[in-house]
Amino acid sequence: MSDIQDAIHEVIESAPSAPSKEDRLNSIIAIFVALSATFMALCNIKDGNICQAMAQAQAHSVSKWSQYQSKSTKQNLAETTLALAQLQKAPDSVQAHYKDEIARYEKEKGEIQKEAKSLESEYEQLNIHDDQFDMSEACLSVGLALFGITALTRKRWLLTFALCLAGLGVFLGLGGFLGWSFHPDWLAKFLG
C-alpha cells in the first residue's frame, strides 16, 4: 500500500502548482469551441425547421395560385357563355345567372390572391431567417477552424479573429431565433 501512496505523492509533488499560459489558452479555446459548436447545432436544428416551413409555405402558395388560375378559367368560361347568351337573346334569368357567376369568381379570385400573396410574404420572411442561420453556420464553422489553428499556433491575434467570426455567427443566429429582419445582403450574395 505504501508503494501506491508514494507514487501518488510523487505525482502530486511533481505537478506544476499553477497552469501554464499554454494550458490557460487551450482551456479558453476549448470553452469557446464547446459554446460555438453547441450554438451552431441549435441553429442547425432551427434552420431545418425553417426550411420545412418554407417548403410548406411555397407548396401552399403554388396551390393557391393554381386555385386562382382555375377560378380565372371558370370566370372566362362564364364571360364567354354570357356573351353567347346575350347574342342569342337568352332569357334575362340565364344572363343574370352568368353575371352572378362572374361576380362570384371575381370575388373568390380576390380572396385566393390575397391568401397566395400572404403565403409568398411568409416564405420571404422565412427565407431571411434561413439566410441568417446559413450565414451564422458559415461564420461559426470558420471560427471553429480558427480556434483549432489558434490552439496549435498559440497566436492571440488569431484567437481574437476567431472570436470576432464566432461572435458574428452568434449575432446572426440570434437574429434568426429572435425574428430580427437584419440581413447582410453583401454576405448573402458572397455565400450564395
Is residue 37 assigned to a domain? yes
Is residue 22 assigned to a domain? no
Is residue 102 assigned to a domain? yes
Is residue 101 assigned to a domain? yes
pLDDT level of residue 84 (50, 70, 90 thresholds): very high
Domain membership of residue 132 as a residue range: 31-191
Set of cell numbers at residue 63: 396551390
Is residue 35 assigned to a domain? yes
First to last CA, the chain: 66
What would the pLDDT profile of 23-72 be if each residue is shown by its tens digit?
888 899 999 999 999 999 999 999 999 999 999 999 999 999 999 999 99
Mean pLDDT computed over 99-128 = 96
Do the beta carbons of residue 32 and residue 101 sit within 8 Å? no
pLDDT on residue 184: 83
What would the pLDDT profile of 161-183 be if each residue is shown by its tens digit?
999 999 999 999 999 999 998 88
Torsion of CA 186, 190, 191, 192, to 10 degrees: 90
Number of structural domains (the chain) is: 1
